[in-house]
């Protein structure tokens, strides 16, 4: 950042920019609305400002008002990035907001720590791929699938999640991505039916697409609705539901191709 600004009292524009950045980052990392509002309000409090925030699915709107001089106010709108879940960011930013409040951190210190937090590296994608496949296989075991079914689900999830990672990298539309991944995974898992492997092929087919279920957005949406942020909650709910419909379409397509509808 510009060295001229260090050691000075930050301007209202600087603070508004920092706070909108933080709230957009929280939004795209998958925090629920109440947490976003609480965190940024706490930080604004430290600088002697009061803020009113509206959180939407695609943008965050914030009016920041000085407590000493109410004529000094600014309204900022910032577009959020698309949802990439990252709970490390949520918990670190939440801790940062309390540190700011308790230790009266300065503007530069907060900005430095904010950039450190958002530039942390994610877990290795291959490890994630393997763990997700294990998780889905054990899901299949929870539904009382036999060993053939568990093996099939493991392979189907490996393939499906790999496709998903590649498509995320290429920024392909979410809905297309979910349909394709569900299709790939259920097509592989459906082979159990075609080749008559094991006694529980229907469980393999059913659990092969479960790694795609958008659990966090679903829970966030209900939490938002319960806490009174009904508009944001409904937006999240519609988003999650459309993803689930896409999963169903992918599953449906592969079931029609494999001819399982007669079963």
Cα Rg, the chain, nearest whole Å: 23
Stretch that binds other proteins, among 14-22, 54-62, 65-73, 141-149 (CB under 8 A): 141-149
86 lies in the site for other proteins, by CB under 8 A: yes
98 lies in the site for other proteins, by CB under 8 A: yes
Task: Choose among 164, 160, 158: nearest CA to 177.
Answer: 164
Stretch that binds other proteins, among 8-16, 54-62, 73-81, 124-132 (CB under 8 A): 124-132
142 lies in the site for other proteins, by CB under 8 A: yes
Alpha helices in 104-229 (DSSP H): 107-118, 125-142, 147-169, 174-189, 191-195, 201-208, 215-226
Q: What's the min distance (Å) between Cβ of 86 and other proteins?
A: 5
35 lies in the site for other proteins, by CB under 8 A: yes
- For 190-214, letters b (16+ CB in 10 Å) and e give bbbbeeebbebbbbbbbbbbbbbeb
Kindly state the DSSP code that residue 262 receives in the 8-state scheme. G
251 lies in the site for other proteins, by CB under 8 A: yes
Alpha-carbon distance of 220 to 222, in angstroms, equals: 6
216 lies in the site for other proteins, by CB under 8 A: yes
Contacts with other proteins by CB under 8 A lie at 30, 32, 34-35, 38, 85-88, 90-91, 94-95, 97-99, 102-103, 122-123, 127-128, 131-136, 138-139, 141-143, 202-203, 205-207, 209-211, 213, 215-216, 218-219, 222-223, 226, 244, 248, 251-252, 255, 261
């Amino acid at each position: 950042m510009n060295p001229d600004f260090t050691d000075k009292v930050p301007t209202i524009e600087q603070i508004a920019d920092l706070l909108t950045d933080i709230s957009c980052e929280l939004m795209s990392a998958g925090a629920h609305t109440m947490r976003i509002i609480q965190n940024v309000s706490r930080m604004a409090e430290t600088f002697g400002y009061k803020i009113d925030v509206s959180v939407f699915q695609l943008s965050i709107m914030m009016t920041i008002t000085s407590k000493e001089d109410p004529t000094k106010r600014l309204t900022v709108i910032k577009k959020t990035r698309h949802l990439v879940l990252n709970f490390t960011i949520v918990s670190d930013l939440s801790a940062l907001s309390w540190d700011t409040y308790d230790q009266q951190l300065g503007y530069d210190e907060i900005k430095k720590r904010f950039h450190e937090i958002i530039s942390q590296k994610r877990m290795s994608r291959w490890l994630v791929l393997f763990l997700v496949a294990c998780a889905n296989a054990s899901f299949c075991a929870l539904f009382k699938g036999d060993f053939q079914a568990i093996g099939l689900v493991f392979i189907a999830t490996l393939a499906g999640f790999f496709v998903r990672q590649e498509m995320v990298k290429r920024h392909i539309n979410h809905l297309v991505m979910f349909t394709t991944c569900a299709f790939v995974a259920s097509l592989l898992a459906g082979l159990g039916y075609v080749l008559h492997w094991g006694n529980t092929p229907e469980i393999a087919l059913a659990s092969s697409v479960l790694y795609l279920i958008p659990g966090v957005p679903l829970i966030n949406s209900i939490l938002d609705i319960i806490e009174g942020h009904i508009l944001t909650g409904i937006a999240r709910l519609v988003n999650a539901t459309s993803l689930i419909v896409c999963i169903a379409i992918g599953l449906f397509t592969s079931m029609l191709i494999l001819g399982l509808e007669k079963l």
